[in-house]
Chains A and B, each alone.
Chain A
Amino acid sequence: MELISPTDWAKEKVQSVQEYSLIAARAIGNLFARPRYLADTTQQADLVGVGSLPIVVLTGFFTGGALAQNSGVTLQRFGSLSLIGQLVSLGMVRELGPVITGLMVAGRNASGMASELGSMVVTEQIDAMRALGTDPMKKLVTPRVISTVFMLFFLTIISDAFGIFGGGVASSLFFGVDMHQYWSTAWQILVFQDVFMGLAKPVLFGFIIATVGCYYGISARGGTQGVGRATTQAVVASSILIITVDFFVTRLSMTMFGQ
């Protein structure tokens, strides 16, 4: 194995951050520039949104169900089983819904974007696009960013809903909790700051997924092996970033709203 000097390693990392920042900044800047690729954006929205719907519904439902089972046992011990709806609802809306949906879409779409764009790089299609007078950042990156941010927002709402529903089914099946009581407590506990926190996260996560996926795709080098490496790195990096950003957004939101 070749040894790399710490200085070169640090330079490489700083350069990666710089290149990622430039791609992210240009993706935002292009939101206000023409031409707007509406057909490409719609196609990506279909790929990200409709394509991810089954996995988001399933993971949301079962995560809510598992959360209800785990918290039900503890709550039962303290005789507070009636709070199970509140706990599942808060857990799903503030935390688990956005994070699980983000991670699922990252696994599915950040990898897809990295491999698609990576293949285009190694077969010179990106160079061909530039040579034909088209900006790949506008045609390929910006539509993916817009559609991922937009669709992840709604996918998270769906995931939250199915998570709370899954929690309700599990509570009713395993702890005999009345469904009507479950739903009314789950609904009543939610206040503006919970919904705000839960819906601010997918906007950031969607941006992370698309920009990281596109960055690794566009930076792919070294043929098919390089494309495979880019795909793996895109999933790993976007997943880590999602969880890290989640921590800070939660802290910031709690500081802002005082809870």
Chain B
Amino acid sequence: MISMSSPPAAATQAIQDISKPGDVAVEFDDVSLAFEERQVLDGISFQLVHGETKAIFGVAGSGKSTILKLALGLIKPDSGRIVVLGEEVTSMTENQLFELRRRVGIVFQESALFDSLTVRENVAFRLYEEGTVSEEEIDQRVREALSFVELEHTVDMYPSELSGGMRRRVGIARTIITHPEVLLYDSPTGGLDPVTSNTIIELVVKQRDLFKISSLLVTHRLQDAFTMGTHYFDRTENRMKPLPPHARAEVPMGFLILRDGHIIFDGDLKSLRETRDEYIREYIS
């Protein structure tokens, strides 16, 4: 278990100001999408409320990552409606989407760092693009973001010099530097060893419990999502700790399972464990 530095107070305050528990952060309403002949999503509907983290499961090719790209407007659905932070993504132009994307962050499966830029330039990319932030502030915010993922020493390195796990953590730092209201994680632990995976999951839990960030997390690793459903981030000890069994329902953690383009489960950890669906029982066993 790693220990991490405390979150910056200003950032915590900013997130608390924008978080409205109970409100819907992301909503999919009867969304369908086909790639050529193959129906990837077939009329899926779900909601992610503010402050909640929802883990999305499904076999490879079931459309998990597609959901994240749809939420960001990187691809358009064939039909249906997607609302993110009160804005209807499906009816927005690319230029309008650029504004919305400043409030939504995504961590890509292979981190998608810009390989010709240093870690500092990668993490500060959005700040440089905004063009209104001073160099001193950029330096300070880069240090803060990198300290959150415990990678301050990599600031002048290039992505090719980092390990897979370090690249994912830099990806997280790049995403959180502007304190987005919604975070989308695309298989953040895919292909990593258990120790590094745990480090990444601890960062996700830290975002959820300290900053009350709403998140969609695509993963193949069931144990990662169960860890998130059974642990919380202790601010005083600055580390992730297991929850007592009676308190597990208090964690804002949801589970969503996709099969053949449909949602076959959308609920919390308790109902997932109690489900009688044969496919789901086999999946989680």
Contacts and interface: CB of A to CB of B under 8 A. Distances in A.
Contact of B99 (A125, A128, A129, A133): A133
Interface stretch (B125-133, B207-215, B219-227): B125-133
A135 B113 CA distance: 16
B281 interface: no
Interface in A121-137: 123-125, 127-135
Interface stretch (B38-46, B104-112, B233-241): B104-112
B279 interface: no
B172 to A, nearest CB: 13
A129 B112 CA distance: 9
Main secondary structure of the interface of B (DSSP, over half): mixed
A135 B129 CA distance: 10
Contacts of B129: 35, 132-134
B101 A131 contact: yes
Contact of A135 (B98, B110, B112, B131): B98
A139 to B, nearest CB: 8
A35 B132 CA distance: 12
A211 B165 CA distance: 37
A128 B131 contact: no
Given A125-B115, A135-B98, A130 B74 contact: yes
Contacts, number: 52
Interface residues of B, number: 24
Given A123-B112, A127-B74, A134 B98 contact: yes
A35 B74 contact: no
Contacts of B174: 132
Nearest to B106: A131
A123 B72 contact: no
Interface residues of A, number: 13
Nearest to A131: B106
B114 A131 contact: no
A123 B115 contact: yes
A21 B114 CA distance: 27
Contacts of A133: 98-99, 101-102, 126, 129
A124 B131 contact: no
A35 B94 contact: no
Nearest to B116: A116
B69 interface: yes
> Which of B72, B112, B115, B125 is packed against the most chain A CB atoms within 10 Å?
B112
A124 B99 contact: no
A37 to B, nearest CB: 10
Contact of B112 (A35, A125, A134): A125
A124 B167 CA distance: 14
